[in-house]
Structure 1
Amino acid sequence: MADRALQHRRVHNLLLIQKLLGLRGDSSPFTLVLDTVEQSAKPLIRHYINNAKISKTDVVYISFETFKPPLGIAAFIKTRRKDAATIQKEISSVVSTTKRALLMFDTLYPLACNTNLDLPSFLSSLVTPTTSLLAIYHMDIPLPPPPNPYAPSPLTSLEFLATTIFTTHSLEQVLSRKRAADKSLAEPVFGLEEKREGVIIGLGSNDPKGLVLEMNHRRKSGRNIEEVFFLLPLTSKEKPLLLDDHPLYRRPDLGDAKSAADEVAAELSSTFDLGITAKQRRDREGVVLPYFDAQKDGFGGGEGGRILYDMGVEDDFDEEEDEI
């Protein structure tokens, strides 16, 4: 049962991540990507741009910190010294009402710092039946204190608004934390969390072998689906896989134990045959047990716990005991 549930989870979540990355349908109108200097979201953005070309979706790149337009996009909008209303007009001028489009914000930090802007309302106005939104939020850049201390933070509002949240992690750092957890040691910290002078990026950051992608997807019914994937570089042309299936993350002793259990089961099955044939099954179904007759009306059904028994030739009949 556990293996069947694991297989169902693997197939379902892999199909879901391929659907989200492939921009199929309206599976995620607003995708929020949370990254850090330890693991940039750029590899994930390359996957989205490449899949957008395959699905014939125009990518409109809204640049706050990118100077050179990425390859494969349809439009590049510079936002330097422009307010939110001007940005919205430029986006509307390049987005078609009949063709699917993906609006890609390279960072939300300038908009989140604007205290005069209602960020959730601004982003919601950009989403249409043919237009979806993908925005990057840098987790390691602190925001200025809000004017209203009781209002939710911009990140809290974005997480509430987003239909899919991707959090990027470095593979090498995830493996280091897992090795420490397996030995019951304190998890290592990297980068700014080390709180060392001059240390900004830790060891193993932005691993070129791929990134760990933590997904939190909210379905239309409101049910959340959480999973952790390993996303290979775009040049490998390999599909995502569950982090639990990664050979460096999966515990090797589990595989050995499973193979050993399979060998024992195969040996037992060759020695003992616990199954029954069709003839044995028919003979078993034809056997009438004694308590069946006791339930019939002709045998005093409903009169109590009456036991019917027919003596055989091998039974030893004791007349004195029977009289008692």
Structure 2
Amino acid sequence: MNMMKCKRQSKCILMYVLIIGILWSGSAVWKIARNTLTTNTNCKNITKGLQQKFTASIAKIESIFHINSLHQQNNRSLSQSNDFTILILVCSNPKNTHLRKAIRKTWLSMKHPTPNITIKYRFVIGNTDDNSIQENIKTEIDKFDDIVHGDFVDSYLNLTIKTLYAMKWAIFNEPNVNYVLKADDDAFINIFNIPRFLYEKQLKRTCLGYMITNVPPDRNPASKWYVPKSSFPNPIYPAFTAGWAYVISMDMLPELYKTAKATNFFYLEDIFLTGICRSKIKGKVMGNANFKARLDSSNDDEVKTFFAVHFTTEKNHYEYWKAQKRVGSHNLDGNEI
């Protein structure tokens, strides 16, 4: 019996070391840790330890951000606009300098896409162990002053932490904006249609995006989106918006952030924030068919009506921008649940 207990504890410790290694280093040993996790279903103390580590990492980020922000009190000009304002936070991979360049030259080049609507933006980037990339980021910050550089490992498993960091930045620096649009750097945002839609609809306590419903957790240990029952026991996720591009009304963001900090860590950022945490505070989620996986830039109707497009390459950013200028834009209603 003692030998069995010892073996269980050894496996739990291995799981703990592997996952913590991933959290702090972004290591590619996730598959090993994931497979270890599936062989240990009775490791409550270790799971608790992991949660404490996740919580500590978020607290560290928040603390460092707050200290840094105190030194920037005299540079709060971003919050002074009286216009209807949308803040776009682009979560970007540190190495994707080419995509940030393309985005700046295309859809983020418009600060006032329509009268009385102001667009503000920041790229959100974490740390990498590649020194040359870190140096490139510093150069980029000096040149453009449009990057929020967080003190966390920039990795897939840290996307929730990265997005919470972005939310914290928005709440502190831009409390007067009307909406926050979170996008990945492989998304192209229609800088005309989304702002006009939000201006007309005046959505309250809402997440808007590509809505996904009735999806069960992936219980396959080999999957990138594997979630054990210990992390999420329910058979179906709450409705959520896909993480590559979604809008959160600012009237809900502080409560959503506060709830996320008090909720057990979940590494699938879109499900965690726009599904689990949103449902806890009884926020609404609205789907719109004009958030698309692909866009046919030769189809004028598609170009006129789309809101956002996923899987966007550097070439696509320029291609879609050229098509937009060719045909103009319109908007369509969304469906709320």
Bin the TM-score by the shorter chain.
under 0.3
Which is higher, the Rg of structure 1 or of structure 2?
Answer: 1
TM-score (norm 1): 0.26
More helix per residue: 2
